[in-house]
Amino acid sequence: MPPRDSVFTLANLLSLSRLPLAAAFVWTLNARDGWTAPLLILLLAAASDALDGWVARRAAIRAGTGTPAGIGSWLDPVCDKLFVSTVLGALWWRYRPPLGWLALILGRELAQLPLSLVYLAIPRLRRW
């Protein structure tokens, strides 16, 4: 089994899988073959996000730490933000929805960043 600080853990590889999925979303969205392929890619990305969290928590329990740590603690949110940003950019480029809609989603994503930093900076929150 790779060390917890390795990029090559299952949880980290699941997080990183969202980067090629983002590129695949853009490609299938621009193929103009309907919504089936882009929707399947979004579902795969959601599944990889849920699964990587589950795998990381299970690994932390096995390691006796109780909370996931290491590279995955910052890699997962970065991959999430890159995926969401790519999807929003592709949707805007292809369909030009009202910028207010995109701003709401992007605002939610950006609001999570400082909250995540507070969570990481205050160990008591992680034990709670």
Range of the domain at 31: 10-127
Pull the structure tokens for residue 91.
């949707």
In a domain, 52, yes or no: yes
Write down the pLDDT at residue 67: 65
Where would I find the H helices in 1-128? 10-16, 18-30, 36-63, 72-95, 99-121, 123-127
In a domain, 2, yes or no: no
In a domain, 96, yes or no: yes
In a domain, 38, yes or no: yes
Spans of the chain below 50 pLDDT: none
In a domain, 112, yes or no: yes
- When divided into structural domains, the chain yields a total of 1
In a domain, 54, yes or no: yes
